[in-house]
Amino acid sequence: MKSMGQKSVFYGVIVILSLIVPWLLPAYQTQLAFLWVMVVFALTWDVVGGQMGYNSFGNIVFFGIGMYVTAVIQRNMHFDIEEYVHVAGRVETLTPVQYLEGLFLGMGAGVVVAVVIAAGLGACILAMGMRGQYFGICTLGLGVAAGELANGWEYIGAGSGLVTPVFPDQLGQRGAFFYYIFFILAVIAFLTLRYLYAGRFGLAINAIRDDEDKAEAMGIHTTRYKIIAWCISAFFLSLVGGGAGHLIGFIDPTEVAFAGATFGVWMILMAILGGKGTLWGPVIGAVIFHITQELFWTYLFGWQRVALGALIVAIVVFFPMGIMGWMRERWPERFGHRVEEREAFSASKGGG
């Protein structure tokens, strides 16, 4: 099939480009690594906020949890806690094996903790039937509360934050290492979501977005789907958080881990910019947003936030449906929603 062939060429180009780009632009590795973090941010936010229509302002919680769990496990495995928290003596650097052990075990544990918490919170908030702006405000509170809790908890460094170990030299380039970790995570997240959206899960959460009461009347277990959707967000966000904590090197409770005012808002913005409720929208949004932001930082020194604010206003005014939404409206025959074979098939298979 021609379209299949073109599709694979397209995906192939993106993958190859992504794989070689850190070597083409070695000086930009760290920023490119953050690009994939942004992509995961937008993709995971869109599961709940876009596809399901539940505007969550609290997804940053899972990012922070992943970051803290990973860093704490890394610390507890290799250091004397007293020494690390209460500043005394020197802390030696880790061997590559220790570093990787701590990082990956930590990320694994972070996922478990984050998903359990997402399920627990979901069971409390979503099962209570909280919707619309009430859900939004509630999740906003979650983010703030998580930051304050971390701010007061001595065991995880409280207001002084946590420092992750220095990246061992033997593992090669730090930027490239994290670039590939985040790239792989973003690809897995994208493919997982693509698979899920194409099937029953996607239809169910879309139904919740369009009319939750009707969806429920049709026999969809809306609460279950909502909680699952939130857990999927938490799953990928916590993984990315674990890596990001190590990439940034210093975890401040409210400004790095539970940074609602920056990362927390950006993930929403990126999804909206690209077009929420679409698969590619968040990816496009994240890429454009991240690059614009980096450019503003370099060229509009001191005014970058003002410019960013103006950009956000412009986006909301001129592209209320996001870039993908705009393209769909402009060229419906090219970008409009089409019922593809697989989608139709799974729709007909799952009745209720």
Pairing of strands 162-163, 250-251: antiparallel
Judge whether 161 and 256 are in contact, CB under 8 Å: yes
Beta-carbon contacts of 271 under 8 Å, excluding residues fewer than 6 positions away, are 42, 45, 46, 49, 50, 281, 282, 285, 322
Footprint (CB under 8 A) of other proteins, residues 264-283:
280, 283
Which of 8, 19, 26, 217 touches other proteins by CB under 8 A?
26
Side-chain half-sphere of 220: how many Cα atoms within 13 Å? 23
Residue 92 interacts with other proteins (CB under 8 A)?
yes
Give whichever of 115 and 286 is closer to other proteins, judged by the CB atom. 286
Q: How far apart are CA 286 and CA 31, in angstroms?
A: 13
Contact letters (x/-) for other proteins, 151-190, by CB under 8 A?
A: xx-----xxxx-xx-xx------xx---------------
Q: Which residues pair with 251 in a beta bridge?
A: 162
Q: Return the closest-CA partner of residue 146 out of 181, 108, 188, 114.
A: 114
Q: Return the closest-CA partner of residue 272 out of 60, 47, 51, 46.
A: 46
Contact letters (x/-) for other proteins, 107-146, by CB under 8 A?
A: ----------------------------------------
Residue 81 interacts with other proteins (CB under 8 A)?
no
Give whichever of 27 and 317 is closer to other proteins, judged by the CB atom. 27
Q: Which residues pair with 250 in a beta bridge?
A: 163
Residue 22 interacts with other proteins (CB under 8 A)?
no
Which of 187, 335, 343, 347 touches other proteins by CB under 8 A?
335
Quickly count: other Cβ atoms within 10 Å of residue 15's Cβ.
Answer: 12
> What's the CA dihedral at 11, 289, 68, 138 to 10 degrees?
-110
Residue 20 interacts with other proteins (CB under 8 A)?
no
Q: Shortest distance, CB of residue 249 to other proteins, whole angstroms?
A: 3
Would you tell me which residues interact with other proteins (CB under 8 A)? 2-3, 6-7, 10, 13-14, 17, 21, 25-31, 34, 87-93, 148, 151-152, 158-161, 163-164, 166-167, 174-175, 248-250, 252, 254-256, 259, 262, 280, 283-284, 287-288, 291, 294-295, 297-298, 301-302, 304-305, 324, 327, 331, 334-335, 338, 340
